[in-house]
Structure 1
Amino acid sequence: MQHWTELFLQQVRNVSLLEWLSVILGVAEVLLARANKVWLYPSGIAATAISIYLFWVSGLFAECLLSGYYIVMSIYGWYYWVQKRNEPPVQVSYANRREWVITLLIVFLGWGILYLLLINYTTSTVPVWDAWVSSTAWAGMWLLARRKIENWILLNVSNLFAVPLLYHKHLVLFMLLTVFLFIVAIFGYFDWRKIIKKQSTQLPA
């Protein structure tokens, strides 16, 4: 136990300023997402741009692809949310059958494609784990962009597997951020469920 504590403290002491900045912006993003505020997108884009460099240096190549995908989806989600300024904002809702099919395709096809890319074109030492974390997060972010409550479930599947992966790669601050995101996502799910319930009571009879 003492060995692991010392190793953890050593990793904390070695955290770079870029990692701190990325994590602070990431915390701001998830709090804004939980509050259902559009400013989650610019915060997330800035945090992700920094993380791409850090993941590349650490050899988490699928995480780099995930981060690039996140930036694209964040821009899409930002536009999707505010494209009709004179109309009510896009409402939170449950995913329908078609959206679930797309979600599962993103998870499993994405996992297979990423795994093949990692083992054939990179020096990744954790291709299976890295690919799974990224594909489940891909699916979660697609659902978030569509304002679907299930995004919290998919993102937490990714977070659950990301924690040991990030620790293994000595990205301890990102690991702590992921633990924080896991906890906030639980609250986010229930907050969004309250929003959906409130929306349903406001529908015209």
Structure 2
Amino acid sequence: MQLQEFIDHIQQAFIQTSWLERLAVLFGIVQVILSSRNQISNYFFGILSIVLTISVLFDARLYAEIILNVYYLVMSIYGLWYWKFKNDNKTLPVSSCNKREWQIVAAIIIGGYALLYLFLSHFTDSDVPMLDAIVSSTAWAGMWLLAKRKIENWILLNSSNIIAVPLLFYKELYLFATLTIVLFIVAIFGYYRWKKIIQTQRIPSYA
């Protein structure tokens, strides 16, 4: 596909989308940028994006995607509470996963993949159940890590993104593929920004 043809597809896709979809995408981008900057306000924009997305998916009768977004909504509300109140009303520090948390991540990915693959294979007409399941289950694990303010969330989310991009192109969803590429780049910067935050937290302060 030539560059000009790709740009034309993006322009056409944008024209055909509703304002609800555009706002959902816009709030989603703002959410990722704010989370990369370690700002708790990222959850407010994330929740707005998810609610709008659910509304669009309901009109399109994409019920499996609605279930996925309901999970995102629950994790966003949990993340907002965890960041704000779990650490004795102090800002929850950025940290790395321990062994137990990696075990939970593995359980989310493997368990989520198995459930989604079975659901997509037996109860939907999906022609890409394997890729669809791994994209979603990896994103689930990444969202859980984001809620726990673990730096590895960016690795998991980008693992999901890197599979999602060719999948979206295959489905000719060029607007969402472009958005995912943008989110992939933002996540890279988010990882290195959080890495600097961890290093700053380790520097002792002197009175």
TM-score, with length taken from structure 2: 0.88
Secondary structure at the aligned position of 1:65 is classed as: helix
Any conservation in 1 of the 2:10–2:175 contact (CA below 8 Å)? no
1:18-167 matches, cutoff 5 A: 18-55=20-57, 62-83=64-85, 87-167=89-169
- Measured after TM superposition, the shift of residue 50 of structure 1 is 2.0
Aligned-partner residue type, residue 76 of structure 2: S
Structure 2 runs not aligned, ≥5 long: none
- Measured after TM superposition, the shift of residue 60 of structure 1 is 6.0
Cα separation, 2, equivalents of 1:202 and 1:138: 35
**Total equivalences in the alignment:** 204
Cα shift readout 1:162-191 (whole Å, capped 9, x = no counterpart): 112223334332222211110010010010
User: Residue 184 of structure 2 corresponds to which residue in structure 1?
Assistant: 182
Secondary structure at the aligned position of 1:83 is classed as: helix
Q: Name which of structure 1's ranges 145-154 and 31-40 shifts more when overlaid on structure 2.
A: 31-40
Cα separation, 2, equivalents of 1:37 and 1:101: 27
Any conservation in 2 of the 1:152–1:185 contact (CA below 8 Å)? yes
Secondary structure at the aligned position of 1:73 is classed as: helix
User: Residue 199 of structure 1 corresponds to which residue in structure 2?
Assistant: 201
Choose the corresponding residue for 1:14, options 16, 21, 31.
16
Secondary structure at the aligned position of 2:39 is classed as: coil
Cα separation, 2, equivalents of 1:125 and 1:59: 17
Any conservation in 2 of the 1:8–1:172 contact (CA below 8 Å)? yes
Cα separation, 2, equivalents of 1:24 and 1:81: 23
- Measured after TM superposition, the shift of residue 108 of structure 1 is 1.4
Cα separation, 1, equivalents of 2:43 and 2:130: 29
Structure 1 runs not aligned, ≥5 long: none
Q: Is the alpha carbon distance of 1:114 and 1:195 closer, same or farther for their aligned partners in structure 2, counting shifts above 3 Å?
A: same
**Could you tell me the percent identity over the aligned residues?**
49
Secondary structure at the aligned position of 2:125 is classed as: coil
Any conservation in 2 of the 1:106–1:139 contact (CA below 8 Å)? yes
Choose the corresponding residue for 1:173, options 172, 175, 180.
175
- Measured after TM superposition, the shift of residue 85 of structure 1 is 8.3
TM-score, with length taken from structure 1: 0.89
Cα separation, 2, equivalents of 1:54 and 1:166: 18
Aligned-partner residue type, residue 145 of structure 1: A
Q: Name which of structure 1's ranges 143-152 and 18-27 shifts more when overlaid on structure 2.
A: 18-27
Q: Is the alpha carbon distance of 1:130 and 1:53 closer, same or farther for their aligned partners in structure 2, counting shifts above 3 Å?
A: farther
CA RMSD of aligned residues (A): 2.3
